[in-house]
Amino acid sequence: MSKKPNLLFFGIDSLRRDHMSLYGYERLTTPHIAKYCEGGVTFENCFSAHIPTTPGYSNMLTGRDVFGTGVVALGQRAIVDGVPVLAEMLRKEGYESTCIGFEGNAAGRGYDNYISFPGWGPDHSDGRAHKAQNLNDVAIPELERLAKGDKPFFLFMRHMDPHSPYLSPEPFMHMFFQGDAFDPKDKRMQKVYDFKPFGDYIGSWVPKGCTNPDYVIAQYDGSVAYMDSCIQAILEKLQALGLEEDTIVVFVSDHGETLYDHDCYFDHHGMYEPTLVVPFAVVWKNHLPCGVRVKDYMQLKDVTPTLLDIMGIDTGLPFDGRSMMPLVCGGEREPEPEFYITECTWMRKHGWRTPEWKLIRSLEPDFHFKPMVELYNLIKDPKENNNVAEEYPEVVELLTKRMNDWIEKRTKETGRPNPIDVNFLKDGRPFASSQEAYEGKYIGGIADAVKLQKK
SS (H, E, C) the chain: CCCCCEEEEEEECCCCHHHCHHHCCCCCCCHHHHHHHCCCEEEEEEECCEECHHHHHHHHHHCCCHHHHCCCCCCCCCCCCCCCCHHHHHHCCCCEEEEECCCCCCCCCCCCEEECCCCCCCCCCCCCCCHHHHHHHHHHHHHHHHHCCCCCEEEEEEECCCCCCCCCCCCHHHCCCCCCCCCCCCCCCHHHHHCHHHHHHHHCCCCCCCCCHHHHHHHHHHHHHHHHHHHHHHHHHHHHCCCHHHEEEEEEECCCCECCCCCCCCECCCCCHHHHEEEEEEECCCCCCCCEEEEEEEEHHHHHHHHHHHHCCCCCCCCCCCCCHHHHCCCCCCCCCCEEEEEECCCEEEEEECCCEEEEEECCCCCCCCCCEEEEECCCCCCCCCCCCCCCHHHHHHHHHHHHHHHHHHHHHHCCCCHHHCCCCECCECCCCHHHHHHHCCCCCHHHHHHHHHC
Note whether residue 179 is domain-resident. Answer: no
Q: What is d(CA 308, CA 426) in angstroms, rounded to the nearest whole number?
A: 39
Residue 449 has pLDDT above 90, yes or no: no
Note whether residue 201 is domain-resident. Answer: no
414 plus 322 within the same structural domain? no
Residue 268 has pLDDT above 60, yes or no: yes
428 plus 298 within the same structural domain? no
241 plus 367 within the same structural domain? no
Residue 455 has pLDDT above 90, yes or no: no
Pick the last residue of a domain from 328, 351, 383. 328
224 plus 288 within the same structural domain? yes
Its domain, for residue 154, covers 6-169+219-328
150 plus 46 within the same structural domain? yes
pLDDT value, residue 33: 98
Mean pLDDT of 151-156: 98
275 plus 346 within the same structural domain? no
| CA distance to 73, 74, 249, 342, 442, per residue, from 77 (Å) | 9, 8, 27, 17, 21
Residue 451 has pLDDT above 80, yes or no: no
The distance from CA 154 to its chain's CA centroid, rounded to whole angstroms, is 20
Which residues are CB-contacts of 434 (< 8 A; sequence separation ≥ 6)? 365, 366, 367, 368, 369, 370
pLDDT value, residue 443: 79
Mean pLDDT of 168-190: 96
pLDDT value, residue 1: 47
346 plus 311 within the same structural domain? no
Pick the last residue of a domain from 301, 328, 355. 328
66 plus 156 within the same structural domain? yes
Note whether residue 182 is domain-resident. Answer: no
pLDDT value, residue 172: 97
CATH of the domain at 39: 3.40.720.10
What average pLDDT is seen over the chain? 95
Pick the last residue of a domain from 328, 350, 368. 328
Residue 263 has pLDDT above 80, yes or no: yes
| CA distance to 23, 94, 103, per residue, from 91 (Å) | 34, 5, 17
Note whether residue 17 is domain-resident. Answer: yes
Mean pLDDT of 241-247: 97
Note whether residue 196 is domain-resident. Answer: no
pLDDT band, very low/low/confident/very high, at 453 (cuts 50, 70, 90): low
Note whether residue 257 is domain-resident. Answer: yes
Note whether residue 51 is domain-resident. Answer: yes
Mean pLDDT of 448-455: 54
pLDDT band, very low/low/confident/very high, at 104 (cuts 50, 70, 90): confident
29 plus 121 within the same structural domain? yes
Supply the pTM of this predicted model: 0.95
pLDDT band, very low/low/confident/very high, at 123 (cuts 50, 70, 90): confident
Q: 124 versus 47: which is more confidently predicted?
A: 47
Mean pLDDT of 143-172: 96
Residue 251 has pLDDT above 70, yes or no: yes
Residue 134 has pLDDT above 60, yes or no: yes
| 35-85 per-position pLDDT tens digit | 999 999 999 999 999 999 999 999 999 999 999 999 999 989 899 999 999
Percent of the chain at pLDDT > 90 equals 91
Residue 2 has pLDDT above 80, yes or no: no
Q: What is d(CA 17, CA 430) in angstroms, rounded to the nearest whole number?
A: 33
pLDDT value, residue 280: 98
pLDDT value, residue 27: 98
Q: What is d(CA 58, CA 321) in angstroms, rounded to the nearest whole number?
A: 12
CATH of the domain at 387: 3.30.1120.10
Mean pLDDT of 269-286: 97
pLDDT value, residue 446: 56
| 188-230 per-position pLDDT tens digit | 999 999 999 999 999 999 999 999 999 999 999 999 999 999 9
pLDDT value, residue 448: 56
Residue 445 has pLDDT above 70, yes or no: no
Residue 428 has pLDDT above 90, yes or no: no
319 plus 380 within the same structural domain? no
353 plus 393 within the same structural domain? yes
Note whether residue 195 is domain-resident. Answer: no
